Chain A
Amino acid sequence: MIRALVLKEVKDLLRDPRILLPFILSAVAMPVIALVILLPMQSAVQQAISGTKTVAVLDLDKTTYSQGLIRYLENKGVQVIEVTGDSQQKIQEIANSLVKQKISVLLVINRGFGAQIAEKKQAKIQLVSIIEELSMFSGIQASSIQQLVDDYVLGLLINGTGLTVSIVRNPTNITSATYLSSKQLFLPYGPEFMFGFTFSALIVPFIVMGIAMTVMQMSATSMAVENEERTLETLLTLPVSSTQILVSKLLGMFIVSLVGTVFEVIGLVLYFGILSYALSLPTPNAQALVSMPTNLSDVVPASGIPLLALSLILSLFFYASIGVIVGALSRDVRIANTLMSPIGIIFIVPAYLIVFAPSSFYGPAVRALLYILPITQPTIMARDMIASQLPPETPVYLLASLLFSLILIYIAGKLFSIETLSSLQSRVERLTLRIKRKR
């Protein structure tokens, strides 16, 4: 009997575009987002590495030092186009005229440049980036010119001291290492090179939260549709108990959310795959990146994965139960969606705390609470599994989560009577009207 009802739920949900679409969209969106980040980044990084080929120079100093800089740039393979002008006000006009020639960097050698070098003072120079619009990578072309100018001036300043430019730039030969105390791991590089893992510690909990939100939304919509289409009344007169109806609904949603999770995981894998490719691009830190561990199990212990999966499964029932309660209390889908917005905030705030605050910030009591509550448990588990370590009492926390889910399912079962629902739906309708008026 339950089997038939579960099958009905699965069919009805899987065939409803309102249910599956969010999962599919997020699966498609993730790799697209990664590509959107990758493509301009790749182009900007390549440009920065290969260096700017052409630079316009306005020499207001006209000393041997300024002329020497121009020759130095030419010797380094940069095509220098000398432009003329005599005041600060003219620079904008010069920059404007360079737009047509597709020159993106203007170097202005100010008056006194040579004298400042001769007096061993900081030499004043102006580097103008000519860009069409602001973006994350705008101005990156000027960085290679700046490096060459710095090298030239530094060479002049240390002339006769016996020092070399590379020694002045890197006076110490520091080797970075990291000891990750929670995992008792010694890694031969600094934490800044563990970008992939720190990034995962941020993104994976958010994805877990995303799954939670989608499952709740899906359950609320599905249940509200039963009210809207007046099918719940029919169900309640059939020879099945309200508990059987509720359990079959939850099981149906659980199966569909598993299908949805597969979509999300595919999207996630593609997302990280594309970003990994982006990180493998030749950069000044390429050597350090290459030396990072390729074995994920070095940092993320495989033993934690089943625990995280179990937590996610238990939590899916909890999220689905919340959704079912919200949906049951809503006369239609519109009301259910209105109610889900404030409930979403209840989920998002602790998730941000988990992702952005270190464990030491909230202390052991709050940490235990975050582990016990099914709304936060998989999120904090995902973060700790990657960034530190799961606590030894994790199985106890899982039992607590199970208990919470069972209590909620029991409460949801109690709500499944037309009289209770009708009375509560009227109250909820008044509440949503108040929420809407406030907005």
Chain B
Amino acid sequence: MQVVIVKELSKKFGEFYALKNVSFEVEEGEIFGLIGPNGAGKTTTFRILSGLIPPTSGRVEIMGEKPGSPRLKRVVTYLPEDAGTYRNLTGYEFLKLISEIYFGKTREAEEALELGLKIASLGDKIHEKMKNYSKGMKRRIQVARTLMVKPRLAILDEPTAGLDVIHSKEIRETILSFSREFGTTVLLSSHNMLEVENLCGKIAMINKGSIVLTGSVKELLEERGAKNLEELFFMVTKQGEAA
């Protein structure tokens, strides 16, 4: 079953086309990577999928619904690339707030909070105000916030940005185990090609607002004769520049 269907999606800001006829599909339980250079249109695509901004034209469906509907908001979570935290709240208070927004004051909320604390793995620091957190700690809280509610689709824009090697690995493992254990579909972007190669079954490469490549990582590497995703990325983006 396709969880995400994007067909000929375009988005215009004034006279500028941020996205031009973008199409891709994401299967249920899949970890799908949307990769591309800065300003390629990844974040705009994610913002449309999370219902934050409307498309200019094209078809966008998540589980058969238009993005941003009240029902989808309960099962689709979005982690923006530059998501901030509330400086004067503790990490614990923030995760508790999220669990209560999703589940009220129920047993489910307690479980979600417990899971969030496990994903964040901040130890005693969880009770400190978030203004004292490092960039990496803030990111872990945000990743925890996104996954703790066991969404059916998690849209993660640069989930490991700002994290050190150890915590990046932990977050990658969490994403993988979530996808396997709960069947969560994950749509992510990353500039770390090794991370994408390790996590994603399928990818779409976007450049200057258009999809230039899509398919399974393995097949694409074989097709283009690239040793790894990084080499493939350079090949495709340089072709784009030459064109």
Q: Give me the interface of A with B, judged by CB distance under 8 Å.
A: 1, 4-5, 7-8, 11-12, 15-16, 225, 228-231, 233-234, 236-241, 417-419
B80 within 8 A of A: yes
Task: List residues of chain A with CB within 8 A of the CB of B142.
Answer: 234
Contact A239 B83 (CB under 8 A): no
Contact A231 B93 (CB under 8 A): no
1/0 per residue, CB under 8 A from A, across B96-114: the answer is 0110111010000000000
Contact B82 A230 (CB under 8 A): yes
A333, B87: Cα distance in complex, Å: 14
A234, B146: Cα distance in complex, Å: 10
Q: Out of A5, A229, A233, A236, name the residue touching B101 (CB < 8 Å).
A: A5
Q: Out of A4, A12, A418, name the residue touching B52 (CB < 8 Å).
A: A418
Q: Which residue of B lies closest to A234 (CB)?
A: B83
Q: Out of B53, B70, B98, name the residue touching A418 (CB < 8 Å).
A: B53
A233, B82: Cα distance in complex, Å: 10
A-B contact pairs, 24 of them (CB 8 A): A1-B101, A4-B100, A7-B97, A8-B86, A11-B88, A11-B89, A12-B87, A12-B88, A15-B88, A15-B129, A229-B84, A230-B82, A230-B84, A233-B52, A234-B142, A234-B145, A237-B77, A237-B78, A238-B101, A238-B102, A239-B74, A240-B101, A418-B47, A418-B52
Within 8 A of A (CB), among B113-159: 129, 142, 145
Say whether, besides A230-B83, A233-B83, A419-B53, A239 and B88 are in contact (CB < 8 Å). Answer: no
A240, B98: Cα distance in complex, Å: 11
Cβ of A177 to closest chain B Cβ, rounded Å:
58
Task: List residues of chain A with CB within 8 A of the CB of B85.
Answer: 229, 231
Within 8 A of A (CB), among B48-102: 50-54, 70, 73-74, 76-78, 80, 82-89, 93, 97-98, 100-102
Q: Out of A7, A15, A16, A238, name the residue touching B73 (CB < 8 Å).
A: A238
Task: List residues of chain A with CB within 8 A of the CB of B100.
Answer: 1, 4
Contact A229 B73 (CB under 8 A): no
Q: Which residue of A lies closest to B98 (CB)?
A: A238
A358, B214: Cα distance in complex, Å: 76
Cβ of A16 to closest chain B Cβ, rounded Å:
5
Q: Which residue of B lies closest to A240 (CB)?
A: B101
Task: List residues of chain B with CB within 8 A of the CB of A5.
Answer: 97, 101
Contact A4 B51 (CB under 8 A): no
Cβ of B178 to closest chain A Cβ, rounded Å:
18
* Chain A to chain B: the 10 pairs with minimum beta-carbon distance, closest first: A229-B84, A15-B88, A230-B84, A4-B100, A239-B73, A418-B52, A237-B78, A419-B53, A239-B74, A231-B84
Task: List residues of chain B with CB within 8 A of the CB of A417.
Answer: 52-53
Q: Which residue of A lies closest to B14 (CB)?
A: A423
Cβ of A178 to closest chain B Cβ, rounded Å:
53
A11, B129: Cα distance in complex, Å: 11
Cβ of B65 to closest chain A Cβ, rounded Å:
14
Chain A interface mostly? helix
A103, B93: Cα distance in complex, Å: 68
A12, B100: Cα distance in complex, Å: 17
Beyond contacts A234-B78, A240-B101, A417-B53: 5 other A-B pairs, Cβ-Cβ < 8 A, are: A230-B80, A231-B85, A237-B52, A237-B77, A239-B102
A241, B100: Cα distance in complex, Å: 15
Most chain B CB inside 10 Å of its own CB: which residue of A225, A239, A418 = A239
Task: List residues of chain B with CB within 8 A of the CB of A239.
Answer: 70, 73-74, 101-102
A11, B88: Cα distance in complex, Å: 7
Say whether, besides A236-B52, A239-B73, A419-B54, A4 and B84 are in contact (CB < 8 Å). Answer: no
Task: List residues of chain B with CB within 8 A of the CB of A236.
Answer: 52
A241, B68: Cα distance in complex, Å: 10
Q: Which residue of B lies closest to A238 (CB)?
A: B101
Q: Which residue of A lies closest to B53 (CB)?
A: A419
Task: List residues of chain A with CB within 8 A of the CB of B74.
Answer: 239
Task: List residues of chain B with CB within 8 A of the CB of A234.
Answer: 78, 80, 83-84, 142, 145
Most chain B CB inside 10 Å of its own CB: which residue of A4, A228, A237, A240 = A237
Q: Which residue of B lies closest to A227 (CB)?
A: B84
A233, B104: Cα distance in complex, Å: 21
A15, B86: Cα distance in complex, Å: 11
Cβ of B81 to closest chain A Cβ, rounded Å:
9
Cβ of A11 to closest chain B Cβ, rounded Å:
6
Cβ of B171 to closest chain A Cβ, rounded Å:
18
Contact B50 A237 (CB under 8 A): yes
Contact A4 B101 (CB under 8 A): yes
A12, B74: Cα distance in complex, Å: 25
Task: List residues of chain A with CB within 8 A of the CB of B54.
Answer: 419
A417, B53: Cα distance in complex, Å: 8
A16, B76: Cα distance in complex, Å: 32
Task: List residues of chain B with CB within 8 A of the CB of A1.
Answer: 100-101, 104
Contact A12 B97 (CB under 8 A): no
Say whether, besides A8-B86, A231-B83, A231-B86, A237 and B51 are in contact (CB < 8 Å). Answer: yes
Q: Which residue of B lies closest to A236 (CB)?
A: B52
A241, B77: Cα distance in complex, Å: 15
A46, B104: Cα distance in complex, Å: 67
Q: Which residue of A lies closest to B78 (CB)?
A: A237
A28, B52: Cα distance in complex, Å: 44
Say whether, besides A239-B74, A418-B47, A8 and B53 are in contact (CB < 8 Å). Answer: no
A238, B74: Cα distance in complex, Å: 7
Task: List residues of chain A with CB within 8 A of the CB of B78.
Answer: 234, 237
Contact A237 B73 (CB under 8 A): yes
Task: List residues of chain A with CB within 8 A of the CB of B51.
Answer: 237
Cβ of B68 to closest chain A Cβ, rounded Å:
8
Task: List residues of chain A with CB within 8 A of the CB of B84.
Answer: 228-231, 234
Contact A4 B53 (CB under 8 A): no
Contact B87 A16 (CB under 8 A): yes
Say whether, besides A4-B97, A239-B74, A233 and B87 are in contact (CB < 8 Å). Answer: no
Q: Which residue of A lies closest to B71 (CB)?
A: A239
Cβ of B232 to closest chain A Cβ, rounded Å:
31
